[in-house]
Amino acid sequence: MTDLDQRPPPSRAGHALRRAAPALLVYAGVRALGLAVLAAWGAAAGKSPHTLLTARWDSLWYTRVAEHGYGWEVTLPDGSVHSNLAFFPLLPWLERLVATTGLSHADAGLVVSWVASLCAAAGIFAIADHLYGRRAGICAAALWAVLPVGIVQSMAYSESLFTALAAWSLYAVLRGRWVTAGLLASGAGLTRPVGAAVVAAIWAAAALQVVRERRAGAVRERRADARMLLGVVLAPLGAAGYVLWVGHRTGGGLLGYLDVQAGWGNGFDFGYAFARFVGEKFTSVPGALAGVGLIVGVALVVWLYVLGVRARQPLPLLVYCGIVVVLALCAAGYFGSKPRLLMPAFPLLLPVAVALARLRTSRSALVLGGVAVASAAYGAFWLHGSGPP
């Protein structure tokens, strides 16, 4: 027996990491390009890229929660109240944990986001690889990196953390690992309000499996039934726990969190405010061009979702993606942030990833490289603007 024969078999984790390595390298390269362009733009504009990534807009609110806890609010001249209770707690908790190493809370948020973005890219790769193969998985991770708003993945925001938890929860569902899926969904529910989309995906998958097995007359083991039930029960605990805590703290009961969001001007109006916002763009020629661009963007999102339906994506992905899209497009307020709110809807990218995977490697690399450059430039331009991403 040779030394080679005596080597232990490779672990599952090691095999999975080696399989995902090209996707993670491509993802990291794209994000490094975005940061390099941001740094060059900041040097020319006299602004600190570090400040743009860690100390503006939502990142400031998360840092304040990490440093001082909840209870801080700002009253605007129009009387509306912005409370930090609107921000879910998992990211601030992790910032506080990482800050025990000596980093500032702001820098800790950046570390959490960068690590989470890699985990999200790995999760997106894992889903696409599981459904369509390794090449599609690499393309899917790259597409998520080159989104026009991809720079947010490198900010101290919660989108990367949420997407990582959501992607791996959905992957666990696809592999029938119900308890893991429920725990990750609970974490997603502690990260952003749209965590409800992950919960709905798990519930839909469980319901579909029960229906299919009953029609087929299949008999399941009690342990398998118990695991599925436990996953279904665990999934909503994170979001429900925080929402109930906010309601108790504010005295608003079950609607307390909605009252907090209303203070920020947020709410669900079936897209009326957004449609009015788009319509108002057509009062001038420059505005009309922006209005057309918004309509085209919404049409593209809907078209990609329809492609996913036609491609028969698994039900959990369709349910999750559909809810993320509806909540992003049909919510009132902060219309400039809608592209960022759509970023976790990564199943929209799968049809494009499959199409790119069918091309020669040189052609798909050329397409993704060109889009990456454009995305890096747009991200730098966007963060140097006056409004929040």
* Residues 306-316 pLDDT 10s: 999 999 999 99
The Cα–Cα gap between 104 and 100 comes to 9
Query: pLDDT tens-digit profile of 24-47?
Result: 999 999 999 999 999 999 999 999
Q: Taking 90 as the threshold, does the pLDDT of residue 229 lie above it?
A: yes
pLDDT, residue 2, reads: 43
Q: Taking 80 as the threshold, does the pLDDT of residue 205 lie above it?
A: yes
Q: What are phi and psi of 81, to 5 degrees?
A: -115, 125
pLDDT, residue 220, reads: 60
Query: pLDDT tens-digit profile of 283-307?
Result: 877 778 888 888 999 999 999 999 9
| pLDDT range class, residue 55, cuts 50, 70, 90 | confident
Phi-psi region of 57 (alpha: psi -120 to 50; beta: other; left: phi over 0): left
| pLDDT range class, residue 8, cuts 50, 70, 90 | low
Question: pTM (2 decimals)?
Answer: 0.94
Residue found by looking up tokens 């747009």 in the block: 378
Q: Taking 80 as the threshold, does the pLDDT of residue 228 lie above it?
A: yes
Residues 6+ apart with CB under 8 A from 196: 189, 236, 239, 323
Q: Where are the domains of the chain?
A: 21-383
pLDDT, residue 4, reads: 40
Please give the residue that has the higher pLDDT: either 140 or 264.
140
| The Cα angle at residue 340 between residues 104 and 74, in degrees rounded to 5 | 55
| The Cα angle at residue 170 between residues 128 and 194, in degrees rounded to 5 | 115
Taking residues 336-362, report their average pLDDT: 95
The Cα–Cα gap between 297 and 316 comes to 24
Average pLDDT of the chain, as a whole number? 91
pLDDT, residue 3, reads: 43
Q: Taking 90 as the threshold, does the pLDDT of residue 163 lie above it?
A: yes
Taking residues 141-156, report their average pLDDT: 96
pLDDT cut 70: percent of the chain above it: 95
